[in-house]
A and B are shown apart, each in its own frame.
Chain A
């Protein structure tokens, strides 16, 4: 089996593209996490993220985050072109550190929620959501 010059070039481009694209997405997620936590270590427990296992329509996926006592919660959709979904800051009159909303997901991916606790520690929860129809246009 031999390849022409054109085929070889195409394959090389494809490989480079495949290698660069996911890396960029992860870099965005890491950047968003670092911007929120300032590089602090993230624990688990004390935060609940409720999202459907299967979402038929990625345009409107109901999610709920609940982290008793948290100061703020950030939600990231790790597989979206821009992973940030929203930041919830709770004031003194918040009855519970809980909020629910509807989000867009481009495809099947992990949704990540990180809560900042009053003592400066961070906890996270993830939930995989399988999306049948993606929700980012295109």
Chain B
């Protein structure tokens, strides 16, 4: 349903061990709420990202359930602790059962 879905994530390249970093994520998605009607009065079916997760080396950072009240192009900013060098994996789950992922490496110095 949703075309041109592009995830964008901003993570610092490096951090000190145990440092708390801020991560910003954005994914282009119409987030059709299921409340709107088209020109003929038919309800446009709901089509949203319903879940987002962020993991670091397999450990959960944040797991968010999105509802239709989240704006178009859902944006999320949160904080994570970086105990060691590794990879952040970001996953978005679409209503149409598509899954979008992105990952970012971070080095501890």
- Nearest CB of chain B from residue A67's CB, rounded to whole Å: 13
- Nearest CB of chain A from residue B5's CB, rounded to whole Å: 17
- Pairwise interchain contact B35-A99, C-beta atoms closer than 8 A: no
Q: Which of A112-138 contact B (CB under 8 A)?
A: 135-138
- Pairwise interchain contact A60-B72, C-beta atoms closer than 8 A: yes
Count A-side interface residues using an 8 Å CB cutoff: 33
Contact string against A for B residues 85-109, beta-carbon threshold 8 Å, 1 for contact and 0 otherwise: 0000000000000000000000000
CA distance A96 to B20 in the complex (A): 8
- Nearest CB of chain A from residue B77's CB, rounded to whole Å: 5
Task: Say whether B28 faces chain A, with CB atoms less than 8 Å apart.
Answer: no
Task: Say whether B14 faces chain A, with CB atoms less than 8 Å apart.
Answer: no
Contacts of A89 in B (CB 8 A): 62-65
CA distance A100 to B69 in the complex (A): 14
Task: Say whether B68 faces chain A, with CB atoms less than 8 Å apart.
Answer: yes
Closest to B88 in A: A93
Q: How many A-B residue pairs have CB under 8 A?
A: 105
Closest to A92 in B: B59
Contact string against B for A residues 96-116, beta-carbon threshold 8 Å, 1 for contact and 0 otherwise: 101111111100000000000
- Pairwise interchain contact B69-A86, C-beta atoms closer than 8 A: yes
Identify 5 new A-B residue pairs, CB closer than 8 A, beyond the known A86-B66, A137-B33. A60-B71, A77-B69, A82-B68, A83-B69, A87-B64
Q: Which of B48-97 contact A (CB under 8 A)?
A: 55-56, 59-72, 74-81, 83
CB < 8 Å neighbour of A136 from B20, B33, B78: B33
Given A89-B64, A94-B78, A103–B35 Cβ distance below 8 Å? no
CA distance A85 to B83 in the complex (A): 31
- Pairwise interchain contact B35-A136, C-beta atoms closer than 8 A: yes
CA distance A94 to B80 in the complex (A): 4
- Pairwise interchain contact B62-A137, C-beta atoms closer than 8 A: no
